[in-house]
Structure 1
């Protein structure tokens, strides 16, 4: 295998156990091989496993687990979430030969070769894509197993069955040859190897047996000498098969430590090496078989494990040719560091990784560098049960807290199995509340054992409770240990350089340790003896971690340090410690260690390079990152605690180390915060998911970037901002208490406010005497944002006291403005008003006054607002209210107008009061309100001196213009006219407020409201004749009883009544009354129109009309008669007037000053024309009249 440069090859690896991602739900596939079934293997044996990491797709791998005739296939990725990634294949009664399983990648597919005790299978899956060009926000992909099903595995081209019932196959090897044909080698117990080839496309099988007795050509004389020394019938322990040039070579390692190389084409072995003679001549074989594994990339390497009784050996060989002859060239060999059972080994790059089973469910993992032969331990997760030394009033609760201290330490299966030991009921599968169930199980166990103790002995009872709790906790640990017992290793290589550990029923990881961990894990190595390692040797003399005692986030700094002293106390009388303190100056070494423990809080400059990195972004990848980070933080926290107590001890003995104690305590605070933060895995994983820019490669660089990103000692801004988003307010406040908060004070203040603790936030702000005034403004804004207005006022008052000394007028105004607004929200109106008065900036004062007035009005605090005298600000208040009222709808504006009226009335501003009511009239929506407001406007205008009883009308642009709105001076007369119009509008159903006076009159006429119409027409200088004409028509219509009955209604509407009198007579009398009331003195205009209307309807003129005409303008009456052809009426009237004139001795003419000669002559002509007798009579009388006139005129001339 080509070398993979591992930058951590000299670094100790550490186990990381994540959540239990492997599900209990499998896609089951049952296969019945056609060959004869066998029971060669014991069904109760431990599972075996293997795995494969994809070459071109980083961090994606598959692994398998074999238990008798079941094969479990699982695929995972650290970068993508895979779906349908678990398949379990059951080869019915045909044990899987685990050693022969191999995975091969071709250009199009992934090939899995699986041999069983009676069949060989070639399983083909689609090759996964790199997914480089798809949406980087999509972190979901299908597993290669997602479409795997029974038809695909039952295809005859994919399997071959053989009958090996009598030969009992027990081991196998497989590979793909140069043509991608599947090659299987099956080791049989009769010392025979079965060779099976399955062609690539057709699956056509070919098989043959290869055995020890195969003929050997004489030309191979160089190895014939070796044959004679062999033990008869050796048993093959392990096999490897691989193409070599144009042939297929099989490498078999038997129980005599002989390594044979077989040629498939020749069906003989062509090379043999006595491994025992070379590497362990005087040592017997161990109880376990020898193992041979291959690794191949650019070159084939064979890794051999010789299981020996004293010192087992690892050997790495490289197959090659020397002058055309095959040979195995040694690359490396090393003695095994332990002689326990080897579970698995693999050569990756320049390292051999090994798993040894050291106990029932315990193991150790080591690796060796094949360049220098140095073994390196891996730090595995080991938890031992420790009973509490101190007395506890509730030991059961203590152990329950241990069990549930981490949501990922024990799985549900661990707890179920432990519960099943004590509770044999069948309901374990349906547990939802594990804590309660476990508590009940312990209580039941205690009750069963209580009979052995004295019920009055409380101490014995407490011991029993603790023993039962410890027993259950130990059972949980046992099942966890069993679940995590390692079976196999998978090297993920670049870029993560992680190792996957496949376990009994789960999987975990090995990661490189960071620089601090690596020093801690290797300080006992004699080759690494340095001053730093000597210091670590003293500090870590008792490697027990006590982090579980520091889970209380609410711990005060004082209690925190006291707990550190009690948990990590150094005994000054210890000889090792005394010798170390006395032997050297530790301060330089401590300074180096403190520098190493400090993180770099600066963000990496190349962060943008990983903008769309998908590495470690799957759920599994994030979990590995978070658990690794937590491990490192706990380790560093533990070291800082030890360093703190050690430096305190050194200070007591030597003094002058106070600065180191402070540094150590600050580091302890910082790493405690980090450890607590990452202890909540869900919270920490959310932080990782929301900061994808931090993702980078390799894996440990990612961990370093996370540490730098969240490092709280210098500036915890980044960390606390995330904690604030997640509602971790107590955590934020604890960080502030421990490390200070100057750079993120605003976040701290917000956390107190969100936690409903504004008093502490205010205390922090006021206690800082050097705070900038701008910071106070920001803090006040925060208080306002969270509705803590009283605290904002207190802080504002504090800032104003400071402003007195700085004489900063601008800031003073700003704080007064803020206080004003907050007092207003608190309804402390008097204080708010005082804030307004304190403002020197006139514009700011008016703005605040505007807010003050409108806020009180909107809060319906009219009486409160009226209580202020607004000295010097009355006009401003009036303008504010008026402008606000004009900006609102009629309904919304009403309260503002009413307040405006109240304030005008309070200060006796009657003209403004009248104007306000007039504006209300213009804006009102009803006719009733119109009249009401007009009357009020009129009332207050009449109070004024007549010379002042006027105002200039307002013109509101959003109202339509009507005849009743005067764009000029409004006086009392105008208001009266409008009042009558408003009242008249009320008489009209469905009337609108904007209907003009002509329309009102027209509608009223239809309703026979003649009295109102005449009044309106008179007031508005409109024609009085038309309404009377309508009344004439109505009177003329009273010709039947039905109309007469209706007349009583409209007569009553006009205020006319008369019992026992004919309604027709009353109507005509009403007409006479109106004509006489509204006719001007000495005029006949109205009489004329009434007479004209009567004559138009061929009706006789009432005597009162004729009489008036005779008295005032008889000529007009004659003209009216003549125009309607009433010659008889004309002649009668003329004769009457002439007779009266002739018989009269008065000098005054009956015809007034002007005698209508033309009209009289016209009548005479018409009478003569119509041959009427009255014509001659009138003509004679007219001549006499004329003569009289002439005589009279002569007399007048004579005199």
Structure 2
């Protein structure tokens, strides 16, 4: 592919995560990876994926890696898989897809190299089948049996492509998934028209892949509110059902957000649950369904329906017993809530809010009258855990009206000295060689320090924007933010 159309594409910030399977060993217990992608400020022609590995029990070194993808943007559907020897990360963009195997031990990112990323056996360039301007908008990835990498790409024409990548040879095989179960391909468009289906209705907007037995299936929620299930080995549609409830059947115009699908596995029975967020103009809701195979015939069993909050959904994750969701309210506040999905009547529980840390105050109240502004503000700003170094560094550049970001690798003591010099310079500039009384000088110093503190709060709030949720086994929930994370227990 040679398209370079990023300037015409509006891409949402995306995030995700992975928790290691074995929680009994000390080196994998409470250990997880999360990722986040966004456009770089410097060049919109590059897309950046940042992967971070954290452990709540160990101090990991070399635990962050950033990949830049030239003239392309990253699609949703990144997955991480554990094999006997490796941790495999599957990434798809609108022009290529990549397989990053054998990322080592320690922090698994400690040994990542540019040569490994550019190994031709770990990526494949997509030749788009429709037109030069038709790019995939949705993707899902999976590591199947024999470590074969699967990539499903959805296009706005209703086409879904399944691409298989051999991890050894790097050879790729492409299949088009059929949109109908019985009608031949050349008649499938006629069949859709006879049912009153517009081509836009068949567009898959969110997908998941999962193995059931020896077969891998693709599950997609489409724009028409239908859930569709394909057999990947046969490239055949094997089941579909409408997810519209009675209240939305006649008001099914797509809302401001896309439908989203997530999956959960019951640890005891290995049964698959699918959670679907449906967004319509009239209302939004969550549907929980279970795929069922009876005598070789596939269908979906409805489990629960839960009305969504009156807010914008950022992300949600599903467990066998609960739905967790993070929202942005009308007041632009972050809200995390959960709902139980184990009620016997099939109607989902009401949403229970999670108590989050309070947002940082925009103004610092100095309660000790004996502290001068310099001491009060430096004690607070540089208190361990208050502001990350990168936030203070950005605030310093903003305060100094500099277009060049200060060195983010400065030690805390050196950074503190630079901040003090910058604020003192601002105080002298404001004083303009006027003679000030002690009280006037303290008021001016407090005003200048308050300006710098406001710069810190500004960047901290931007860095605290929620972008995703990661469910940890036996530990809790990770709320992924733009530049850090919070742990919910």
Secondary structure, counterpart of 2:354 in structure 1:
strand
Contact preservation (8 Å) 1:344, 1:488: yes
Once the two structures are superposed, the pairs formed by residues 451-462 of structure 1 within 5 Å of their partners are none
Indicate which of 318, 342, 351 corresponds to 1:375.
351
Residue 398 of structure 1: how far off its partner (Å): 3.0
Residue 206 of structure 1: how far off its partner (Å): 0.9
Contact preservation (8 Å) 1:210, 1:268: yes
Query: 1:389 and 1:58 mapped to 2: Cα distance?
Result: 42
Residue 170 of structure 1 corresponds to: 137
Q: Does 1:286 align with 2:255?
A: yes
Q: Does 1:52 align with 2:18?
A: yes
Q: Give a deviation string over 1:950-1007, Cα, whole Å, max 9, x none.
A: xxxxxxxxxxxxxxxxxxxxxxxxxxxxxxxxxxxxxxxxxxxxxxxxxxxxxxxxxx
Once the two structures are superposed, the pairs formed by residues 1121-1140 of structure 1 within 5 Å of their partners are none
Residue 149 of structure 2 corresponds to: 182
Residue 320 of structure 1: how far off its partner (Å): 0.9
Once the two structures are superposed, the pairs formed by residues 606-755 of structure 1 within 5 Å of their partners are none
The alpha-carbon distance between structure 1 residues 299 and 466, as it changes in their structure 2 partners (threshold 3 A), is same
Contact preservation (8 Å) 2:273, 2:288: yes
Query: 1:402 and 1:46 mapped to 2: Cα distance?
Result: 34
Contact preservation (8 Å) 2:156, 2:200: no
Query: 2:117 and 2:406 mapped to 1: Cα distance?
Result: 36
Residue 463 of structure 2 corresponds to: 483
Residue 98 of structure 2 corresponds to: 121
Q: Does 1:64 align with 2:35?
A: yes
Secondary structure, counterpart of 1:276 in structure 2:
coil
Contact preservation (8 Å) 2:181, 2:238: no
Contact preservation (8 Å) 2:142, 2:209: yes
Q: Give a deviation string over 1:996-1020, Cα, whole Å, max 9, x none.
A: xxxxxxxxxxxxxxxxxxxxxxxxx
Once the two structures are superposed, the pairs formed by residues 538-549 of structure 1 within 5 Å of their partners are none
Residue 466 of structure 1: how far off its partner (Å): 3.6
Residue 143 of structure 1 corresponds to: 107
Secondary structure, counterpart of 1:64 in structure 2:
strand
Indicate which of 238, 241, 254 corresponds to 2:206.
238
The alpha-carbon distance between structure 1 residues 232 and 117, as it changes in their structure 2 partners (threshold 3 A), is closer
Greater share of helix: 1
Query: 1:293 and 1:158 mapped to 2: Cα distance?
Result: 27
Indicate which of 419, 423, 427 corresponds to 1:438.
419
Mark the runs of 5 or more structure 2 residues left unpaired by the alignment. 23-27, 40-46, 186-190, 344-348
Q: Does 1:158 align with 2:139?
A: no
Query: 1:199 and 1:389 mapped to 2: Cα distance?
Result: 62
The alpha-carbon distance between structure 1 residues 81 and 445, as it changes in their structure 2 partners (threshold 3 A), is closer
Secondary structure, counterpart of 1:82 in structure 2:
coil
The alpha-carbon distance between structure 1 residues 63 and 205, as it changes in their structure 2 partners (threshold 3 A), is same
Residue 287 of structure 1: how far off its partner (Å): 0.8
Residue 744 of structure 1 corresponds to: none
Q: Does 1:208 align with 2:175?
A: yes
Once the two structures are superposed, the pairs formed by residues 451-600 of structure 1 within 5 Å of their partners are 464-494=444-474, 497-511=475-489
Query: 2:211 and 2:244 mapped to 1: Cα distance?
Result: 26
Query: 1:265 and 1:238 mapped to 2: Cα distance?
Result: 20
Greater share of strand: 2
Once the two structures are superposed, the pairs formed by residues 298-377 of structure 1 within 5 Å of their partners are 298-340=270-312, 342-358=313-329, 362-372=333-343, 373-377=349-353
Residue 48 of structure 1: how far off its partner (Å): 1.8
Residue 464 of structure 1: how far off its partner (Å): 4.9
Query: 1:420 and 1:44 mapped to 2: Cα distance?
Result: 28
Query: 1:197 and 1:279 mapped to 2: Cα distance?
Result: 40
Indicate which of 238, 247, 252 corresponds to 1:270.
238
Contact preservation (8 Å) 1:58, 1:492: no
Query: 1:375 and 1:95 mapped to 2: Cα distance?
Result: 35
Residue 392 of structure 1: how far off its partner (Å): 5.1
Secondary structure, counterpart of 1:230 in structure 2:
coil
Residue 224 of structure 2 corresponds to: 256
The alpha-carbon distance between structure 1 residues 246 and 40, as it changes in their structure 2 partners (threshold 3 A), is farther
Residue 61 of structure 2 corresponds to: 83
Q: Give a deviation string over 1:1135-1183, Cα, whole Å, max 9, x none.
A: xxxxxxxxxxxxxxxxxxxxxxxxxxxxxxxxxxxxxxxxxxxxxxxxx
Secondary structure, counterpart of 1:83 in structure 2:
coil
Contact preservation (8 Å) 1:231, 1:256: no
Query: 2:169 and 2:247 mapped to 1: Cα distance?
Result: 45
The alpha-carbon distance between structure 1 residues 67 and 344, as it changes in their structure 2 partners (threshold 3 A), is same
The alpha-carbon distance between structure 1 residues 504 and 162, as it changes in their structure 2 partners (threshold 3 A), is same
Residue 323 of structure 1: how far off its partner (Å): 4.5
Contact preservation (8 Å) 2:158, 2:204: yes
Query: 1:301 and 1:226 mapped to 2: Cα distance?
Result: 32
Secondary structure, counterpart of 1:472 in structure 2:
helix
Q: Give a deviation string over 1:458-493, Cα, whole Å, max 9, x none.
A: 877765544433332222122122223222222222
Residue 177 of structure 1: how far off its partner (Å): 2.8
Secondary structure, counterpart of 1:233 in structure 2:
helix
Q: For the pair shown, which has the larger CA radius of gyration, 1 or 2? A: 1
Secondary structure, counterpart of 1:166 in structure 2:
coil
Q: Give a deviation string over 1:69-118, Cα, whole Å, max 9, x none.
A: 32222222223333333222222223221x22112223332222111111
Query: 2:470 and 2:170 mapped to 1: Cα distance?
Result: 30
The alpha-carbon distance between structure 1 residues 388 and 81, as it changes in their structure 2 partners (threshold 3 A), is closer
Structure 1 ranges of 4+ moved more than 6 A: 41-44, 224-227, 454-461
Contact preservation (8 Å) 2:311, 2:328: no
Query: 1:81 and 1:390 mapped to 2: Cα distance?
Result: 36
Residue 89 of structure 2 corresponds to: 112
The alpha-carbon distance between structure 1 residues 156 and 398, as it changes in their structure 2 partners (threshold 3 A), is closer
The alpha-carbon distance between structure 1 residues 299 and 254, as it changes in their structure 2 partners (threshold 3 A), is same
Q: Give a deviation string over 1:680-707, Cα, whole Å, max 9, x none.
A: xxxxxxxxxxxxxxxxxxxxxxxxxxxx
Query: 1:383 and 1:428 mapped to 2: Cα distance?
Result: 24
Contact preservation (8 Å) 2:104, 2:111: no
Indicate which of 383, 386, 389 corresponds to 1:412.
389
Query: 2:366 and 2:167 mapped to 1: Cα distance?
Result: 67
Query: 2:29 and 2:320 mapped to 1: Cα distance?
Result: 16
Q: Give a deviation string over 1:294-348, Cα, whole Å, max 9, x none.
A: 23351222111112335421121111123432111122221122322x2221113
Secondary structure, counterpart of 1:379 in structure 2:
coil
Contact preservation (8 Å) 1:346, 1:354: yes
The alpha-carbon distance between structure 1 residues 227 and 110, as it changes in their structure 2 partners (threshold 3 A), is farther
Contact preservation (8 Å) 1:455, 1:461: no
Contact preservation (8 Å) 1:47, 1:504: no
Once the two structures are superposed, the pairs formed by residues 847-866 of structure 1 within 5 Å of their partners are none
Contact preservation (8 Å) 1:422, 1:445: no
Q: Give a deviation string over 1:749-800, Cα, whole Å, max 9, x none.
A: xxxxxxxxxxxxxxxxxxxxxxxxxxxxxxxxxxxxxxxxxxxxxxxxxxxx
Q: TM-score, normalised by structure 2?
A: 0.81
Mark the runs of 5 or more structure 1 residues left unpaired by the alignment. 1-34, 129-141, 219-223, 512-1199
Contact preservation (8 Å) 1:368, 1:375: yes
Indicate which of 275, 295, 300 corresponds to 2:264.
295
Contact preservation (8 Å) 1:65, 1:72: yes
Once the two structures are superposed, the pairs formed by residues 748-1147 of structure 1 within 5 Å of their partners are none
Query: 2:108 and 2:437 mapped to 1: Cα distance?
Result: 64
Contact preservation (8 Å) 2:97, 2:123: yes
